[in-house]
Amino acid sequence: MTAAYLPDGIEIPQITGPMLRKGVVIAAGLHKDIKTRYIRFGHMGVTACDTSRGDVDKVIKALTEALDEAGYKRPQA
């Protein structure tokens, strides 16, 4: 499983809905003190071991797009 903090100003519902529409299911955090600040997604077995499936890449792409849709401005390199 991977857990990722959300950028300041981005809330979990802004991410979960768009990602679900892209075919990616994520979960909100569990730790009481920070549960509204991070998301979790699982990648076990074939989803992580068979890279030809592109599952992890799909999650990263969906998260990037969902953050863009939520108005997050990524730092320029």
What pLDDT, on the 0 to 100 scale, is given for residue 15?
95
What pLDDT, on the 0 to 100 scale, is given for residue 74?
86
- For the record, the structure tokens of 41 come out as 């997604």
What pLDDT, on the 0 to 100 scale, is given for residue 33?
94
Q: Report residue 21: phi and psi, to 5°.
A: -65, -20
Kindly list the domain boundaries of the chain, sorted by start residue. 2-69
What pLDDT, on the 0 to 100 scale, is given for residue 16?
93
User: Which CATH number is 2-69's, of 3.40.50.2000, 1.10.600.10, 3.40.50.10330, 3.90.1150.10?
Assistant: 3.90.1150.10
Nearest CA-CA partner of 73 in 9, 2, 4, 3: 9
**Alpha-carbon gap, residue 14 to 9, rounded angstroms:** 10
Taking the C-alpha atoms of 49, 58, 11 and 27 in order, what is their torsion angle to the nearest 10 degrees? -40
φ/ψ region of 26 (left if φ > 0, alpha if ψ in -120 to 50, else beta) reads: beta
From first to last of its 77 residues, the chain has per-residue pLDDT tens of 889 999 999 999 999 999 999 999 999 889 999 999 999 988 888 877 888 888 889 999 999 999 999 999 988 87
What pLDDT, on the 0 to 100 scale, is given for residue 48?
78
Place of tokens 């679900």: 20
